[in-house]
Amino acid sequence: MMGGMAGLEGVEQPRRHGSATAARWSPAVEDERALKALELFGNPAEAEVPLPSRPESAATARRLTQIVVLRHWGLSPKLTEDAVLLVSELVGNAVRHTGARVFGLRMRRRRRWIRVEVRDPSRGLPCLMPVQELDISGRGLFLVDTLADRWGVDLLPRGKTTWFEMRAPDR
């Protein structure tokens, strides 16, 4: 992006009205952004990646999930899409509800399963709320409950890990 702020190339910039390129999504551009996120933050499949507790970290977590699930693990676009959506929901909850400065993202692959974990320093438990058709918020855990094969929360001495698991066929 020409004319952007120096050092903020990976940060989401507000869309300019009337810009034809702003609305165009491109797999090549997304791959490039995902590779940049991997370079900047590390690979959550190798070790927990610390991310700042800011709304824009949801985009980073989505990109990291996309590149690991689709490119590194070679899993289906549908599984990738679902994992990306669910990680976004868990990160959104961590950012909105925990008061943390940083949260951790970790991904694991084992025979026929993937597991995505978001760790934060709060011991407050997330709550699955009933969702009405017209609700515009509060759907995060409902989506996790609907799309994941399993999910849960592990309390830690300092904080918790909220996780989901999805069946992933072996190659």
pLDDT tens digit string along 111-124? 999 999 999 999 88
Is residue 18 one of the residues assigned to a domain?
no
* Number of structural domains the chain divides into: 1
Residue 82 has pLDDT above 80, yes or no: yes
Question: For residues 121 and 159, what is the distance between their CA atoms, to the nearest angstrom?
Answer: 4
**pLDDT, position 48:** 97
Does residue 31 fall inside a structural domain?
Answer: yes
Residue 11 domain-assigned (yes or no): no
Q: Summarize the confidence of residues 69-88 as an average pLDDT.
A: 95
CA atoms within 13 A on the CB side of 140: 19
- Residue 67 domain-assigned? yes
* pLDDT one-digit tens code per residue, 14-65: 444 444 444 454 667 777 888 899 999 999 999 999 999 999 999 999 999 9
Structure tokens at 71: 């490119």
Residue 170 has pLDDT above 50, yes or no: yes
Tell me whether residue 123 is in a domain: yes
147: in domain: yes
Three-state DSSP class for 120?
strand
Q: What element of type H or E holds 75?
A: none
14 domain-assigned: no
CA distance 109 to 115: 6
Q: Are 53 and 102 in contact (CB under 8 A)?
A: yes
The parent domain of residue 89 ranges over: 27-167
Task: Kindly state whether residue 12 falls inside one of the protein's structural domains.
Answer: no
pLDDT at 142: 82
Report the CATH number that the domain containing residue 61 is assigned in CATH.
Answer: 3.30.565.10
Is the distance from CB of 95 to CB of 54 less than 8 angstroms? yes
pLDDT of residue 139: 62
What is the reported pTM?
0.78
- Contacts of residue 105, defined as CB under 8 A and 6 or more positions apart, other chains included, come to 44, 48, 49, 51, 61, 64, 87, 91, 116, 117, 118
